[in-house]
Structures are given as structure tokens and as C-alpha cells.
């Protein structure tokens, strides 16, 4: 099969690999579309430590079932499907209580971190366990379905924030996850959703996606104070992960409010502890997703979360090396690039 292989850091090559064999509980998916995640870009240059070459990356994917293992009962050849990025065991204490994203044996499709190596979906075929596979509606194009993993991440961030409805929310960071979290917060019942970023073009996209107000990062603290009578917002979704943006979140949230930490671009931050303690602010981490795929599929299929405006390009798998280089260089106005062995199929179906 044709595959995009990370042969060494900063080097991707189209190569021919054997089509993966399937275990009894696995599904072989013919990949129609696979999105380039920011974590893939950080894996490309080795900065994350979670994409050790040689590896086929890619975990935001959709396609059709090409074959099923002998123990598979829920899917048949030809089914249109997507799958979770998290491969969970289903047996540990976390899985048994529904927190599959915290599984003791958790693996991620398209990741190699030393403890395990699992090839991903920048290829014509990928194998995944039946338990993480979901059927797609016929009306949802594969390129949009490749966005469902990111949508599920946004929905999970909103769910763990324990919203009651009617909240005023602030999203920090208008990248892809921030723009999806904005829409997820609205779908969850927030009455007002504000968003901030350093890039005016991203803020324009946020306004188009339904933000009530948009603010440049340099203005957001004063603007939120003015908008809320100096009280602050009920919840902040921090989708960057830097000391300065988390500090901004803490300055913008009300006493007793929640700051949900989604972004983790830096491994360590400096935290104004006294501000957190004295204002009784809840810091809530969020990791991947845990059962949100059906809701993600429904919301995207119904148009309640719009993903098509976030897709910058659908490109042939062969163009993967050049798109990775462009994303790694920080080229502006690139949100989501979807690679496909058959790009016409990814867009049309």
C-alpha cells in the first residue's frame, strides 16, 4: 500500500508498505481522508517525543471498511466509518467507569513514543479495533468526517467543564480547537461566547463561526472586565497552553469560575497560585475525548457545528511532505489540511 512515512525527523517519504494484517477484533479501513493535527507537526520535527521514526502518522481519519476480523460483528465491508484516536483496553478501572481516555493501557493511532508503536492513517489502509469505530451518515463527506476527532476533543472539554446552561464563556486561542470549542460551548447552552487571539484573520473566522465578541489578545482583559462589569466570565477555555495565556484566563474568569486547560504547547507553565486560591478558581484539565464521537457525528451532520470553513485544503497524500513543511514553517492562514489517497473521493463522499 501507499503510505506517507516519517523516515527521520523533518523527512517524510511516500513509500510502499505491506497492507496491515487484521486481528480477530480489528477492522481494516481504506482511508479516504486524514487530517494533519498540530501534534503530527510537532511529531514531524521530534519536539513532542511521541512520533519516533520510522512511523506512519495520522489519527484524524475516515474511510470505508475494506475487511473485518473474525470476531467483528458490528461492521461489514463497504461501511462508511471513522474511528477514535484513542485505543483503550476496555478492561482497566478507568475504562470500566467510562474514562477511556485515561486508560492504563492507552495507545494513540499514529503514535510511537517508546512504549509502543502504532502506525496511523496517512496511508491507503489502517487497522483499528472494532470498539473504537463509528459508522458515518451517508450525507457526511469524508473530508468533514476527518474533523470529527477534533470535534470530539472540543466536546469533551466542554463536558468536563460541567456547564449548567446560560454561562458566559471565553475561548483563548482561535486555532482549530478553539474555533470548534467555541461552537461546542454554544451547542452546550452557553448564552454568550467570547474569543481572543493574536491574529485578526483568526478572529474573523471566529466571528463567522458564531462568536458574540472577538478581541485581540492585547485587549482581552480590559474588554472582558468592561463586558462583565468587572466580574469576569463564568468559564474560560484555554486552547493555547502558555504561561501568558493561562495567566490571561485567570484574570478573565470570575470568582469561583472554571478555567479548562485544553492547550499544552509548553510542558510547564508559571502559575499565579495566589490568584487561583484567593478567588477559588477551578482549574480543569481535559484530555482527548471519552465517548463524545456519536454526539460529534450528530452535531456535524446536523450543521450545528460547522467544520467545512476550517478545512484549508484537501490534498493528495503525495503532497504530504510539502504541506507538513508549510505547516511547520508557521505559514499563516492554514487551519486544517486533509490528506487523501483519493482527494476527489474525500470531498465528494
Q: Which three cell numbers stand for residue 152?
A: 470530539
How many helices and strands, by DSSP H and E, does the chain display? 12, 19
| CA–CA gap between residue 340 and residue 14 (Å, rounded) | 13
Q: Which three cell numbers stand for residue 278?
A: 484567593
Shared domain check, 316 and 277:
no
Shared domain check, 200 and 278:
yes
CATH classification at residue 315: 3.90.180.10
Count of alpha carbons within 13 Å of 29, Cβ hemisphere only?
A: 34
- Report CA dihedral (12, 17, 20, 21) to the nearest 10 degrees: -160
Q: What is the pLDDT of residues 16-50, one digit of tens each?
A: 999 999 999 999 999 999 999 999 999 999 988 89
Distances (CA, A) of 169 to 143, 158, 196, 259: 29, 10, 11, 10
Shared domain check, 138 and 7:
yes
CATH classification at residue 276: 3.40.50.720
Specify if 293 maps to a domain: no
DSSP summary character for residue 228 = T
Shared domain check, 235 and 179:
yes
Shared domain check, 101 and 168:
no
Q: What is the pLDDT of residues 294-305, one digit of tens each?
A: 999 999 999 999
On whether the CB atoms of residues 260 and 284 are closer than 8 A, the answer is yes
**Domains identified in the chain, total number:** 2
Query: Which residues form the domain of 44?
Result: 2-147+307-348
Q: What pLDDT, on a 0 to 100 scale, did the predictor assign at position 348?
A: 61
Q: What is the pLDDT of residues 87-110, one digit of tens each?
A: 999 999 999 999 999 999 999 999
| CA–CA gap between residue 22 and residue 8 (Å, rounded) | 27
Shared domain check, 159 and 143:
no
Specify if 40 maps to a domain: yes
Shared domain check, 272 and 178:
yes
Specify if 316 maps to a domain: yes
On whether the CB atoms of residues 267 and 241 are closer than 8 A, the answer is no
**Spans of the chain, pLDDT less than 50:** none
In this prediction the pTM is 0.95
Q: What pLDDT, on a 0 to 100 scale, did the predictor assign at position 267?
A: 85
Q: What pLDDT, on a 0 to 100 scale, did the predictor assign at position 198?
A: 97
281 in the Ramachandran plot: left (φ > 0), alpha (ψ -120 to 50) or beta?
beta
Report the chain's mean pLDDT, rounded to a whole number: 96
Q: What pLDDT, on a 0 to 100 scale, did the predictor assign at position 343?
A: 75
Shared domain check, 171 and 80:
no
Specify if 225 maps to a domain: yes
Q: What is the pLDDT of residues 236-268, one digit of tens each?
A: 999 999 999 999 999 999 999 999 999 988 889
Amino acid at each position: 500500500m501507499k503510505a506517507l512515512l516519517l523516515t527521520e525527523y523533518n523527512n517524510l517519504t511516500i513509500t510502499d508498505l505491506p497492507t496491515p494484517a487484521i486481528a480477530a477484533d480489528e477492522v481494516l479501513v481504506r482511508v479516504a481522508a486524514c487530517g494533519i493535527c498540530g501534534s503530527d507537526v510537532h511529531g514531524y520535527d521530534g519536539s513532542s517525543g511521541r512520533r519516533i521514526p520510522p512511523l506512519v502518522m495520522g489519527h484524524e481519519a475516515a474511510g470505508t471498511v475494506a475487511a473485518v476480523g473474525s470476531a467483528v460483528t458490528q461492521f461489514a465491508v463497504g461501511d462508511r466509518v471513522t474511528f477514535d484516536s484513542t485505543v483503550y483496553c476496555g478492561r482497566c478501572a478507568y475504562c470500566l467507569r467510562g474514562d477511556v481516555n485515561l486508560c492504563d493501557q492507552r495507545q494513540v493511532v499514529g503514535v510511537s513514543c517508546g512504549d509502543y508503536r502504532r502506525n496511523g492513517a496517512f496511508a491507503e489502509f489502517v487497522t483499528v479495533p472494532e470498539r473504537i469505530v463509528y459508522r458515518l451518515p451517508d450525507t457526511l463527506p469524508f473530508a468533514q468526517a476527518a474533523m470529527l476527532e477534533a470535534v470530539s476533543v472540543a466536546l469533551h472539554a466542554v463536558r468536563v467543564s460541567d456547564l449548567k446552561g446560560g454561562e458566559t464563556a471565553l475561548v483563548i486561542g482561535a486555532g482549530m480547537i478553539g474555533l470548534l470549542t467555541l461552537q461546542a460551548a454554544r451547542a452546550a447552552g452557553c448564552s454568550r461566547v467570547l474569543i481572543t487571539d493574536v491574529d485578526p484573520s483568526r478572529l474573523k473566522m471566529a466571528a463567522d463561526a458564531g462568536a458574540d465578541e472577538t478581541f485581540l489578545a492585547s485587549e482581552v482583559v480590559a474588554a472582558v472586565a468592561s463586558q462583565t462589569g468587572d466580574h469576569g466570565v463564568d468559564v474560560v477555555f484555554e486552547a493555547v497552553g502558555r504561561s501568558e495565556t493561562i495567566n490571561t484566563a485567570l484574570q478573565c474568569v470570575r470568582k469561583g469560575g472554571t478555567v479548562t486547560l485544553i492547550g499544552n504547547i509548553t510542558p510547564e507553565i508559571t502559575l499565579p497560585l495566589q490568584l487561583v486560591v484567593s478567588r477559588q478558581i477551578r482549574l480543569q484539565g481535559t484530555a482527548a475525548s471519552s465517548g463524545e464521537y456519536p454526539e460529534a457525528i450528530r452535531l456535524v451532520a446536523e450543521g450545528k457545528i460547522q467544520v467545512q470553513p476550517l478545512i484549508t485544503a484537501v490534498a493528495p497524500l503525495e503532497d504530504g511532505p510539502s504541506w507538513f513543511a508549510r505547516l511547520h514553517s508557521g505559514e499563516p492562514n492554514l487551519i486544517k489540511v486533509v490528506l487523501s489517497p483519493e482527494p476527489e473521493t474525500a470531498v465528494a463522499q
